[in-house]
Amino acid sequence: MDATRPVVTEASDLAAEAGGRITPKATDDVGRVTPMMEQYIEIKAANPDCLLFYRMGDFYEMFFDDAEVASRALGIVLTKRGKHLNRDIPMCGVPIERADEYLHRLIALGHRVAVCEQLEDPAEARKRGGKSVVRRDVVRLVTPGTLTEDSLLDPRRNNYLLALARSRASASTDDRFAVAWIDISTGEFRVAECDRAGLAAEIARIEPGEIIVSDALYADAELAPYLRSQPAVTPLGRDVFDGATAERRLAAFLGVATIDSFGAFSRVELMAAAAAVTYVERTQIGKRPPLSPPLREAAGATLAIDQATRSNLELIRTLAGERRGSLLAAIDRTVTAAGCRLLAQRLAAPLSDPAGIAHRLDAVAAFVGDSAARTDVRGSLKAVPDLARALSRIVIGRGGPRDLAAIRDGIFAAAEFSARLAALAQNGSNLPRDIAQAVAGLRRPDPAVAAELKRALAEELPAYRRDGGFVRAGYEKALDEARALRDESRRVIAALQVRYAETTGIRSLKIRHNNVLGYFVDVTAQHGEKLLSAPLNATFIHRQTTAGQVRFTTTELGELEAKIANAAERALALELEIFDRLAASIAAASAAIKEAADALAIIDVAAALASLAIERDYVRPEVDGSLAFAVVGGRHPVVEQALGAPSLPSPASGGGMGGGSFVANDCDLSPPPPPFPPPRAGKGGEGGGRIWLVTGPNMAGKSTFLRQNALIAVLAQTGSFVPARTAHIGVVDRLFSRVGAADDLARGRSTFMVEMVETAAILNQAGQRALVILDEIGRGTATFDGLSIAWATIEHLHENNRCRALFATHFHEMTALADKLPRLHNATMRVKEWQGEVVFLHEVVPGSADRSYGIQVAKLAGLPPSVIERAKLVLAQLEAQDLASPGRRLIDDLPLFAAARSAPARQRDAALATLVEALAALHPDEMSPRQALEALYALKAQLAKTKS
């Protein structure tokens, strides 16, 4: 709602929707409603979908259903306040100083909160007459996607609001979708277009705290199940997503005449972007956070990773939902919150453009090569405050004195860093592009802003502006005078206390202050009588008697109090004025300050990745436009750290189960070099990447090997060094990772169904540039089913997708496929058998596992010896019956590629078959020379048709 919109005076909406619950109404035919309750009901009616935090003095109060909901959610006491329509009004409240904490809990539970403040001093309301209520209105809606307070946010994560817009299909096009996402706490603002199939992946990458959609989209049959599975989805009226007004609303929000200079946006992108800013405006009630202009993300600029792959590879968090154990946690060496947020963003959306990746790697390399600069920069960065978030709060009117200090320190730090970083270039070379750009950004803020803040701010700063005392003495004369008066009066009070003690002869007499009485003379009950009787009662006027004390005031004390209050009030008012002035100068410089903040984050990430590379012995990957994938001595970045120091494979060691450090392994999925003959002319004949079929017993390290290669690709394209001796990676455009029999009971689908749905997605989507990781696909069903599906999947990947792939399986039969599929390579995990026990070497070698060692693994797991012995007997029986090699027979019996061939190929086959039939039907002995010649022409003509 608009701040200027008049408050709704009819409460009928609320009454209608409240159903059987207590139904507040502005008036009723029996009792009358207090003016305050009337005001409450009006404001509540204007915000029916929010819990209303209604400010009353030092509390936010909630009434009616809100009170019941909040008291349950927060575990606070539910009380009553008066009656409404002859029923008690339920009420509960939270003290303002703890409001953030309670807000946090309510938001986390999926509630939205409207914060209603007192907009005038109660004294002013009283001036209007006895029955007047303090003016109040909602100043802000608190929703999961529009938070700014540090106490409500994780410093290391962005919190995005995402708007999802659709433009309906026309005759020639499908529905188009766009997402716009904004972090109002940092000012980031991005837009991207996508199709329906890519929507979930896009949203999974961004991980918004809140999604807004139009009512129509929310009700869309196809999207509804997905949207309802997402946390915090807010459907909004169509006006918010209106295409006709989108451009105008966006330009108005950004304060520009036209948005043309920000890039060419499609209509649906404009709809999403305008919806996002409109919602920001509504929740912030007109306040405008310092947003960057919307940045348009081109399709295909980043490595596409779908939701399943993302969670499966545990990039940002583990399958259990924790940061610990994720790739991000393993590689994060940043020292600032902004750096950490940037690293998470980059990891969630690795680049797919080799040049961009090279720029990032250059920046990391610069810090790898200069350990002095690295240590120095990282040491100083630790002290740099979170500029972006402080800036947002200040601009939006929610900042405190410490935010001003953060801006001051941040600007000074930026200036200092720009000098330091320029020195990186001194050893002859040019600064890497990303660092040079960061240096330029660091120089943008005007040092005068910081200098002014330095002059103005005191050493010790209170948390809130209303506390006062944050302006340095000597900064402004009027303030100094008001403070002197205030402090002088305080001294006078101290003197008064001494005098009263003497004149009354009560040594223990004190002058004290509290919020209810103000200043008062305080004596114990035993002395109280003396002041209550003549002659002292002429001076001392009784105020209050408590259990042990009696309290008085005097005319003199009253006058002094008024003076102090006036002086203190004036001092605070002057301080608040100064605050607003400083905040305005910061707001005016916000674009420059944001650039500096971004630059600091970029430097932090580059130096942190360099530090990681040195610490864990990572190497710079070579990333280019080829289809290569050649990793030598690769390691799993997370498992390696869990196990300890890096090590090289040492076949001689025979380390056993928990052999200690990680064993490095090579992987080469690059297309086989020419003179490799293309298998067939036509589509895809140009070859493709290799597929590695990895076999080996359980626990041998197959899954680890598969994932480590996917993670190395992700790291390389993120612009990080990688855990390997060397790595050459041709840019991957889509990454797929699937695990057989993954549990997804939460979504109510059978595990096997999930596995098949996901496999289907890969086979339908993966192109030649994709990297596919399939871990034991087909495990979730009966053996022959599973084997058949795995088998056909490999054929399809090899013949149709032609992408680089790693495929782990326990179906040893499949290794026979390598004889027929030229780009399929068998690899296996080396194990040793030693005194009947299996020893895992975690080493990947060419070839296939001769057996599965299942019984040995079962033995390691502690199955009873009798079961193990029995299993050995059964196995021997089965092997004797030659059930061990169905794969061999399959290879010989099945026309291998029939199913995998493309549709045109199948048509051609059919046409050729007709041709052969026609040929077979000819009997040359019975034909005249002329008939023979005609038949030959006919055949030729038929052949020509086949080819076209």
Q: For residues 471 and 700, which CB has a smaller minimum distance to ligand ADP in the complex?
A: 700
Q: Pattern of binders to ligand ADP over 854-893, x per CB under 6 A? A: ----------------------------------------
As given in the structure block, the two tokens for residue 55 are 């400010």
Q: What angle do CA 940, 942, 944 make, to 5 degrees?
A: 70
Q: Least distance from C-beta 775 to Mg ion, angstroms? A: 6
Cβ distance 391 to 407 under 8 Å?
yes
Q: Least distance from C-beta 343 to ligand ADP, angstroms? A: 26
Q: For residues 366 and 643, which CB has a smaller minimum distance to ligand ADP in the complex?
A: 643
145 binds, among ligand ADP, Mg ion, none (CB under 5 to 8 A by kind): none
Q: For residues 738 and 842, which CB has a smaller minimum distance to ligand ADP in the complex?
A: 842
In Å, the largest CA–CA distance within the chain is: 154
Q: For residues 342 and 706, which CB has a smaller minimum distance to ligand ADP in the complex?
A: 706
Q: Pattern of binders to ligand ADP over 650-679, x per CB under 6 A? A: ------------xx-x--------------
Q: Least distance from C-beta 359 to Mg ion, angstroms? A: 37
662 binds, among ligand ADP, Mg ion, none (CB under 5 to 8 A by kind): ligand ADP
Q: Least distance from C-beta 634 to ligand ADP, angstroms? A: 9
Cβ distance 31 to 85 under 8 Å?
yes
700 binds, among Mg ion, ligand ADP, none (CB under 5 to 8 A by kind): ligand ADP
Cβ distance 551 to 540 under 8 Å?
no
Q: Which residue is nearest to ligand ADP (CB)?
A: 701
Q: For residues 283 and 703, which CB has a smaller minimum distance to Mg ion in the complex?
A: 703
Q: For residues 517 and 639, which CB has a smaller minimum distance to ligand ADP in the complex?
A: 639
Could you tell me how far CA 462 lies from the centroid of its own chain?
A: 31
List the one residue out of 614, 571, 603, 397 whose CA is nearest residue 485: 571
Q: For residues 334 and 703, which CB has a smaller minimum distance to Mg ion in the complex?
A: 703
CA dist 692 → 486, 662, 818, 826 (Å): 81, 21, 10, 6
Q: Which of residues 674-703 bind ligand ADP (CB under 6 A)?
A: 696, 698-703
As given in the structure block, the two tokens for residue 852 are 């599965």
As given in the structure block, the two tokens for residue 609 are 């990745």
Q: What is the 3-state secondary structure (H, E, C) of 365-412?
A: HHHHHCHHHHHHHHHHHCCCCCHHHHHHHHHCCCCCHHHHHHHHHHHH
Q: For residues 11 and 691, which CB has a smaller minimum distance to Mg ion in the complex?
A: 691
Q: Least distance from C-beta 312 to Mg ion, angstroms? A: 12
Q: Least distance from C-beta 834 to ligand ADP, angstroms? A: 17
List the one residue out of 793, 732, 724 whose CA is nearest residue 758: 793
400 binds, among ligand ADP, Mg ion, none (CB under 5 to 8 A by kind): none
Q: Least distance from C-beta 587 to Mg ion, angstroms? A: 55
Task: Quote the CA–CA distance of 293 and 144 in Å, as a whole number.
Answer: 22
3-state secondary structure of 182: strand
The crossing angle, in degrees rounded to 10, of helices 555-588 and 401-422 is 30
As given in the structure block, the two tokens for residue 598 are 């971004």
Q: Least distance from C-beta 100 to ligand ADP, angstroms? A: 42
Q: Least distance from C-beta 639 to ligand ADP, angstroms? A: 5
922 binds, among ligand ADP, Mg ion, none (CB under 5 to 8 A by kind): none
Give start and end residues of each alpha helix (H) in 90-171: 99-108, 122-127
- Phi, psi for residue 429 in degrees, rounded to 5: -75, 165
Q: Pattern of binders to ligand ADP over 787-826, x per CB under 6 A? A: ----------------------------------------
Q: What angle do CA 843, 849, 850 make, to 5 degrees?
A: 140
Q: For residues 418 and 703, which CB has a smaller minimum distance to Mg ion in the complex?
A: 703
**Tokens 């326990």, residue?**
810
CA dihedral 575, 580, 582, 585 (to 10 degrees): -160
Cβ distance 818 to 825 under 8 Å?
yes
Sheet of 541-545, strand order: 510-514, 518-524, 549-553, 541-545
704 binds, among ligand ADP, Mg ion, none (CB under 5 to 8 A by kind): ligand ADP
As given in the structure block, the two tokens for residue 610 are 């360099």
Q: Which of residues 703-742 bind ligand ADP (CB under 6 A)?
A: 703-704
* Type and span of the H or E element at 178: strand 176-183
Q: Least distance from C-beta 760 to ligand ADP, angstroms? A: 23
| Sole binder of ligand ADP in the list 842, 853, 855, 856 (CB under 6 A) | 842
842 binds, among Mg ion, ligand ADP, none (CB under 5 to 8 A by kind): ligand ADP
Q: For residues 352 and 708, which CB has a smaller minimum distance to ligand ADP in the complex?
A: 708
Q: Least distance from C-beta 835 to ligand ADP, angstroms? A: 21
Task: Quote the CA–CA distance of 232 and 211 in Å, as a whole number.
Answer: 6
- Phi, psi for residue 192 in degrees, rounded to 5: -150, 150
SS3 content of the chain, % helix, strand, coil (to 5): 50, 20, 35
Q: For residues 702 and 738, which CB has a smaller minimum distance to ligand ADP in the complex?
A: 702
Asked if the bond preceding 95 is cis, omega within 30° of 0, the reply is no
Task: Quote the CA–CA distance of 233 and 162 in Å, as a whole number.
Answer: 9
723 binds, among ligand ADP, Mg ion, none (CB under 5 to 8 A by kind): none
911 binds, among ligand ADP, Mg ion, none (CB under 5 to 8 A by kind): none
Q: For residues 211 and 777, which CB has a smaller minimum distance to Mg ion in the complex?
A: 777
185 binds, among Mg ion, ligand ADP, none (CB under 5 to 8 A by kind): none
CA dihedral (375, 378, 381, 382) positive or negative: negative
List the one residue out of 690, 761, 684 whose CA is nearest residue 198: 761
Q: For residues 561 and 776, which CB has a smaller minimum distance to ligand ADP in the complex?
A: 776
As given in the structure block, the two tokens for residue 528 are 């109280």
* Type and span of the H or E element at 128: none
Q: Least distance from C-beta 812 to Mg ion, angstroms? A: 15
Q: For residues 657 and 898, which CB has a smaller minimum distance to ligand ADP in the complex?
A: 657
As given in the structure block, the two tokens for residue 456 are 């103005």
Q: Least distance from C-beta 816 to ligand ADP, angstroms? A: 21
Q: For residues 656 and 684, which CB has a smaller minimum distance to ligand ADP in the complex?
A: 656
Q: Which of residues 488-547 bind ligand ADP (CB under 6 A)?
A: none
Task: Quote the CA–CA distance of 649 and 664 in Å, as a whole number.
Answer: 6
Q: Pattern of binders to ligand ADP over 610-639, x per CB under 6 A? A: -----------------------------x
Q: How many residues sit in the footprint of ligand ADP (CB under 6 A)? A: 14
Q: Least distance from C-beta 413 to Mg ion, angstroms? A: 47
Q: Least distance from C-beta 775 to ligand ADP, angstroms? A: 7
List residues binding Mg ion (CB under 5 A): 703
| Residue 696, burial from CB neighbour count under 10 angstroms (0-12, 13-18, 19+) | buried
**Tokens 């596409």, residue?**
304
443 binds, among ligand ADP, Mg ion, none (CB under 5 to 8 A by kind): none
Q: Least distance from C-beta 278 to Mg ion, angstroms? A: 48
Q: For residues 143 and 815, which CB has a smaller minimum distance to Mg ion in the complex?
A: 815
List contacts with ligand ADP (CB under 6 A). Answer: 639, 643, 662-663, 665, 696, 698-704, 842
